[in-house]
Amino acid sequence: MLYDASHSRVASAGDTHSLPLYAQSSSLHTDRSSYTTGTDGNRTVNTYTDKYGNTTGWVGAKYISTYNDGYGGKTGTIGNKRISTYEDGYGNTTGTIGRDRIHLHRQFRHHHRDNRPTASELLH
CA atoms of 26 and 42, how far apart (whole Å): 9
* Contact of 12 with 23, CB cutoff 8 Å: no
Global pTM reads: 0.63
45-73, pLDDT tens digit by residue?
Answer: 999 999 999 999 999 999 999 999 999 99
Cα–Cα distance for residue pair 2/38, rounded to 1 Å: 18
Distances from the Cα of 94 to the Cαs of 36, 38, 64, 122, in angstroms? 23, 26, 18, 11
Residue ranges per structural domain of the chain: 2-123
Report the distance separating Cα 31 and Cα 81, nearest Å.
28
Kindly report, residue by residue over 73-114, the tens digit of the pLDDT: 999 999 999 999 999 988 899 999 999 999 988 766 554 455
